[in-house]
Structure 1
Amino acid sequence: MKEPTKNLDRWRLVLGKYADQGLQQGALSGHAARLDAALEFLYGREYLGRGLRGDTGPGSLDASQPTLVTWLGEVRELFPNDTVEVIEKHALDRYGLTELITDPKTLERLEPNQQLLRTLLTLRGHLKGEVLNVARRIIRQVVEELRAKLEPEVRMALAGRLNRFRHSPMAMAQNFDVMGTIRRNLKHYDTQRQQIVIEQLRFFERNNRRLPWDIILCVDQSGSMADSVIHSAVMAGILAGLPAFRVKIVVFDTSVVDLSGHADDPVEMLMRVQLGGGTHIAQAVRYCGQLVENPHRTVFVLVSDFCEGAPPGELLREVAKLAEARVKTLGLAALDGQAHPSYDRQMAERLAACGMEIAALTPQRLAHWLVKVIS
């Protein structure tokens, strides 16, 4: 569980709501109450087989209830990955929560949004036939909306850089050349007022990058990284649309999947993602190291919570190799709209000591970081 829970609360969560009187404790509150509501939503159905009357309403598992998606999101937020897998398996196999993966009409009634997209990615391996086609349409709609929101600012940041050798007639405050303006107008110095009379302002010109940069995105597809996986796919699509960049994207759990052939299509990329499973980061970093052609013109971005399942020394050695080769390395604990990370801070500190910059960024901030690194 993601927050500590008192022992008595734990027993109450195990035994269920009918244990309140026997345990002689007050109602659960805060984090424990959220855990109880999430568990009761599913395991409360167990009472139906014992002759007790089941509740109806928001706590039911009726096919038409959009709260199914809300509940799945809550479970993934509250419980660790291995527990989430058990709960979802029980929901599908024991309690018949199959509507999202078998009934396209149920899926079509749900509002397309990022929460639903996360759920579809989690259940991706169960989707077949017409449900899969509906899921693809939903994923495309959400991705296009997200891309339309992010792309203008990202492109503005990445399409050009300040050229401090040429000047532009276009007056933009962020391009203002202070020293050039002073030099240009020194001949208009007013000795009586002891001031420079500014007759002509100077501005730096933006020019397009001509030298190619390789961007390698190495993305952890464990269940806790759902939002970062989505934003990584969209970001890869945006970067791939800029001629000065060559984008490669790799996703991993205990296996490594190279999706570079779909870097320009976030939907196809996400349709090949399967959230969940273990994590072998070192193996993925080693594979990405083989993709490096020009270390001095390569940016390696590891998107992960840094919770390594393999011996940590292996990961540290692989990152150190990239840094020693002069590859620019960045470890992102989160890449989403909020950049609120949950990650292994001790491992992050060890990676930083190997030469990897560590951050949690929104896509817009990642774009500005890239400008700083490659300028």
Structure 2
Amino acid sequence: MSRPPHGTAAGPAAGPEEPARDPGLERWRLILGSAAERCTGALHGDAAAQDAALDWLYGRDEDLLRRGVRRGAGGSSSREGGNEPSRLTAVDWLEDIHRLFPKETVERLERDAVESYEIHEIVTDPEVLARVEPSQTLLRAVLRTKHLMNPQVLALARRIVETVVRQLMERLRPEVRRAFTGSRSRRPSRLPLARDFDFRSTVRANLVHYQPRERRILIQRPHFHSRTRRHLEQWQLVLLVDQSGSMAGSVIHSAVTAACLWNLPGLKTHLVAFDTEVVDLTSEVTDPVELLMKVQLGGGTDIARAVGYGAGLVENPRRTILAVVSDFYEGGDPYRLVRTVRGLAEQGCTVLCLAALDEQADPVYDRALAGRLAQAGAHVGAMTPARLAEFVAEKLGGGGQAR
């Protein structure tokens, strides 16, 4: 694991007790590590503290062993001559990086600590949780490790869940509302609403009534746009979400998306989480924080069982969207899964097989099984939450087709 770039490496100007510094050499020393010290010289002040913080984290890398660099206990590199720095705890390290590095570097360091090196103290130590800046990376870590937390730590971890969910809701809710507001179409309307007044069509249709002397047009027949209608008839959205460990990001965004879609006119939303068991979380959708605190990430995957449960919720197949969010590495019966999907599609149900439901929507999935599901009538791909909301809105308005 390479060290991240972090902007200017040098700290404040050297005091009288410190040798003169070359910021360029210090930066290269921080990037290349202690092996470059013969050419760059030793680090001092904040630069030395930055190096210690980076070494505490990246000194754990197994690649150091292959390169012949010895590591001390706790992951930091051993130094010859008994000059090994004092041991840092996760609390000390977090305090240091927030003091020494810019925000974007801190976020990268915290992400690497949790995801690459699985330093669980970041999300299970109450002192750390009290200091840490909430982020989606830390939220995923909380969901993966909350079963290790005692009630006191869990209460602190809830702060991370609440903060990140609020940020996601603030970002996603306007996008969902825009998707469901309805937009102007090119078709004329007989309903005279000022907001839908069609200026160009009105002028064009009434040019014959132009009065040259008064230089005005008499409007005898105003024209108006129609608006696409999103809520003509009741639809169902059944959202089935794989809660295996690799799907943490999609679980988070699925919960927030379902909350944004909840109680929209013309739409009945269900949210179901599954691994080898199926848990209907629809009653918790109004509180995505509480919902996420109940999710249990990990375990096997039985997609066929989940889709079978979802099929049982369908009231009117032709007005139902059943979306399965998974990596589609099936641990259950793939033949049953394909058969159930084919049956739903033949009844007129819109089946979406989504490889991701997060902001990046980077698809990672079993392409062989996904191909079989596509042949059975499902629409396979990856969507961001905003795009799923648009898709649902288009289906409700009768104006969209799955792609």
TM-score (norm 1): 0.71
Q: Tell me, in whole angstroms, the C-alpha distance in 2 between the residues paired with 1:45 and 1:133.
A: 39
SS state at 2:304 partner: helix
Percent identity between matched residues is 41
Between the two proteins, the alignment pairs up a number of residues equal to 315
Cα distance in 2 for residues equivalent to 1:312 and 1:198 = 69
CA displacement, residues 306-358 of structure 1 (integer Å, 9 cap, x when unaligned): 11122321210111121122211111111111111111122222111111111
| Matched residue SS, 1:209 | coil
Give CA-to-partner distance per residue, 1:102-127, whole Å, 9 cap, x none.
x3221121101111101101112112
Q: Decide whether the 8 Å contact of 1:168 with 1:205 is kept in 2.
A: no
List per-residue Cα deviations over 1:120-176 (Å, max 9, x = no partner).
01112112211111111220111011100110121121244668555453457xx97
Among residues 117, 123, 132, which one is paired with 1:100 in the alignment? 123
Q: CA deviation at 1:182?
A: 8.3
Partner of 2:176: 154
Find the counterpart in structure 2 of residue 202 from structure 1: 224
Are 2:140 and 2:248, in contact at CA under 8 Å, matched by a contact in 1?
Answer: yes
1:65 match: 93
Q: Aligned AA for 1:100? A: V
**Residue in structure 2 matched with residue 185 of structure 1 by the alignment:** 205
Structure 2 gap ranges (5+): 1-57, 98-105, 211-216, 398-403
Contact 1:113/1:142, CA 8 A, preserved across alignment: yes
Corresponding residue number in structure 2 for 1:299: 321
Residues 76-95 of structure 1: pairs in structure 2 closer than 5 A:
none
Q: Match of 2:259?
A: 237
| Match in the other structure for 1:358 | 380
CA contact (8 A) 2:241 2:326 kept: yes
Q: Distance in 2 between the 1:373 and 1:208 partners?
A: 8
1:1-375 paired onto structure 2 within 5 Å: 39-40=61-62, 48=73, 53=78, 62-66=90-94, 73-74=111-112, 97-98=120-121, 100-101=123-124, 103-160=125-182, 166-167=190-191, 169-170=193-194, 181=201, 185=205, 188=208, 200-205=222-227, 207=229, 209-375=231-397
> Matched residues in 2 for 1:149 and 1:42: separation?
41
The amino acid that maps onto 2:283 is G
Contact kept in structure 1, 2:230 and 2:394, CA below 8 Å: no
Structure 1 residue 186: Cα displacement:
7.5
- TM-score of the aligned structures, taking structure 2 as reference length: 0.67
1:162–1:207 contact (8 Å) kept in structure 2: no
List per-residue Cα deviations over 1:250-286 (Å, max 9, x = no partner). Answer: 1111111110111121111111112222111111101
Q: Which residue of 1 aligns with 2:17?
A: none
Contact 1:253–1:278, Cα closer than 8 Å, also in 2: yes
Cα–Cα, structure 1 residues 202 and 159, in superposed 2: closer, same or farther, change >3 Å? closer
Q: Measure, in 1, the Cα distance between the counterparts of 2:367 and 2:59.
A: 30
Does the CA contact (< 8 Å) of 1:160 and 1:206 recur in 2? yes
Q: Which has the larger radius of gyration?
A: 2
CA 60–354 in structure 1, closer or farther in 2 if over 3 Å, else same: farther
Distance 2:64 2:91 in 1: 14
- Give, in angstroms, the shift of residue 69 of structure 1: 8.8
Contact 1:301 1:331 survives alignment (8 Å): yes
Tell me the secondary structure at the aligned position of residue 337 of structure 1: coil
Q: How many Å separate the matches in 2 of 1:177 and 1:366?
A: 33
| Separation in structure 2 between the aligned mates of residue 41 and residue 198 of structure 1, nearest angstrom | 81
